Amino acid sequence: MRDVGVQPTRETYHAIAPLLAQEIDSPSLWTHDDAHAYTNKVYARIEEWNAILGVEADDMVGRTIVQHLTRAKSTIPKHIAQQILSSIYYDISLQRPFAADEYLSDETAAVYILWLCDAERGNDLQGALSAFTYFLSVYDVNKHVLTQVSTNDERTPIQQMSAAILTMMAKTSKDVAKQATPFLDDLRERGFTISEVDKMRIIKRLMESTKDHYDAFKIYSWVRALNRKAFKYEQYQEIINHFAAMSLPKSPRVPPDLLAEFITDIKRAGFRMDAKMYTTIISRFTAFLRKRRRQLNESDLVEMVPSADDKTVSQTLHLLRKLHGAIRLDSFLDVDIPLLNALMDAYNQLGAWPECFTVWQELVDRHAWDEKHEAFQPSLSIIFDACGYSKQLARGRRIWRWATKGAVPVNQNNLSAWVECLCRSGLVMEATSLLCQGLQEDPAASELRPEKRVLEIPLKFAWNDASTRAQVQHAIREAFPEEWPSLRFIASRSS
């Protein structure tokens, strides 16, 4: 070109750089497996092009070569490609064949680091971390190496690199909290953030890979520290649900104090807690107690009473009372039935009967005139369960009469809870009589035919008394002959 009076420019080099990359990828250039020797050949070829064009290679030329060699179709063996890519990456800002005034850009760094984080290609987390640390050192010297994006929805190269490294940590790290927190701190110190597209996915993956909920909360806190207004209200709720549902190696259930910390963060972010968020958190407080009940066998279930001796249970009760107080003081909060149910169920599971019955009364007082009486059905099941465990049979009878006189359309779950309440109070025969005769004689409940799961309850509670067992089996067999064949195994287990 110079022979005909045309002076090549950097733009010229950029335009024909793909041809240089193809030459480097040519099998004729690598005739042996010595990665160092091959890298020298690559550098010699770049120097030749520099001399021919009279222009030194820059970051864009280096990126073109890196992009070509990281493609799946590259013919260069992996161990040789790794050496070439590493050399080019670290030499762009340092030495020939690249221009002395050149800096490694975030776009070139992203191509190389994403390749290192690819499990089927580079698969080198430590290499990716080293390359990222090196890029940060370049950035600290020259802030112009960052690419500007046009919209908030578009991921910057730095965000792409961060997401890839954090995802690989979640997959491979033995102690993800120990490795991820200094990495996130490096981002925070420089004002970098995780993209909106990646944020929720990454935080969930990292939390799932931790050893316990305290490490998981640490991860969440460090991600949040990148931008304290990064989470929307709905995202907080999503994170809390995911966090509380995790069963981790060193903490199978979520510590209550950490859920309380989420509430503090939500308020600090400028959001008002609504009934749905309170319901979510309170329900999670006692999820482990409900799980414990389900895991007990039927004979233990008859005798089991919630205990407040366990440290976690005591913490939960303390925090629940604190939350309940905040709810009462919030005059702007629309305290709906699901929230009151969550409070009532939590107190029930924790054995805090006075508070449980207080919430029940508050529920009735607040929503007595609600048109949708079906909304009370979950409340009935909870309060009957509480009456059974707390030996408050008289209270349970009053509520059953109130409900069946038209206050609430009683369903199978309510019937099941009331029958269990009777049985737990020692009235197995009364419960059996209700199922076999009482419902048919009660106009308000005459259409409620007991399901098989309800009929099983008195059969289970009658296991330990031979006389009662025989009477219960006879009554149910006579009243429900079509159901009896499928109930026989309950009877045979008690014989």
Last residue of a domain, one of 229, 250, 271: 271
Question: How far apart (Å, rounded) are the C-alpha atoms in residues 1 and 204?
Answer: 56
* CB 207, CB 243: distance < 8 Å: yes
Question: How far apart (Å, rounded) are the C-alpha atoms in residues 183 and 417?
Answer: 52
Q: For the ranges 2-16, 62-76, 247-261, 304-318, which has the lowest average pLDDT? A: 304-318
137-158 per-position pLDDT tens digit: 989 988 888 887 666 667 899 9
Q: Verify that 377 and 489 share a domain, yes or no.
A: yes
Q: Verify that 308 and 337 share a domain, yes or no.
A: yes
Q: Verify that 348 and 411 share a domain, yes or no.
A: no
The candidate with the shortest Cα–Cα distance to 468, out of 434, 442, 494, is 494
Range of the domain at 201: 155-271
Question: How far apart (Å, rounded) are the C-alpha atoms in residues 313 and 320?
Answer: 10
More confident residue, 435 or 315: 435
170-209 per-position pLDDT tens digit: 998 889 999 999 999 999 999 998 988 899 999 999 999 9
Q: Verify that 331 and 286 share a domain, yes or no.
A: yes
* CB 177, CB 218: distance < 8 Å: yes
Whether residue 148 lies inside any domain: the answer is no
Q: Verify that 78 and 164 share a domain, yes or no.
A: no
| Mean pLDDT of the region 379-390 | 95
Q: Verify that 380 and 323 share a domain, yes or no.
A: no
Last residue of a domain, one of 347, 363, 379: 363
The candidate with the shortest Cα–Cα distance to 407, out of 381, 443, 377, is 377
Q: Verify that 28 and 86 share a domain, yes or no.
A: yes
Whether residue 129 lies inside any domain: the answer is no
Q: Verify that 11 and 91 share a domain, yes or no.
A: yes
Quick one: pLDDT band at residue 300, thresholds 50, 70, 90? very low
Residue 35 has pLDDT above 80, yes or no: no
Q: Verify that 344 and 387 share a domain, yes or no.
A: no
Q: Verify that 352 and 425 share a domain, yes or no.
A: no
Whether residue 80 lies inside any domain: the answer is yes
Q: Verify that 437 and 490 share a domain, yes or no.
A: yes
228-278 per-position pLDDT tens digit: 777 999 999 999 999 988 989 998 888 888 988 999 999 888 899 999 999
Angle, CA 277 vertex, CA 274 and CA 281 arms, to 5°: 140
More confident residue, 111 or 443: 111
Task: Work out how many domains the chain is built from and give that number.
Answer: 4
More confident residue, 63 or 495: 63
Whether residue 19 lies inside any domain: the answer is yes
CB-count burial class (<10 Å; 0-12, 13-18, 19+) for 342: buried
Whether residue 484 lies inside any domain: the answer is yes
Q: Verify that 261 and 285 share a domain, yes or no.
A: no
Query: pTM of the entire structure?
Result: 0.79
Whether residue 27 lies inside any domain: the answer is yes
Q: Where are the alpha helices (DSSP H) in 142-232?
A: 157-172, 176-189, 196-208, 213-226
Last residue of a domain, one of 219, 242, 271: 271
Whether residue 141 lies inside any domain: the answer is no
Q: What pLDDT, on a 0 to 100 scale, did the predictor assign at position 196?
A: 87
Residue 312 has pLDDT above 90, yes or no: no
Whether residue 295 lies inside any domain: the answer is yes
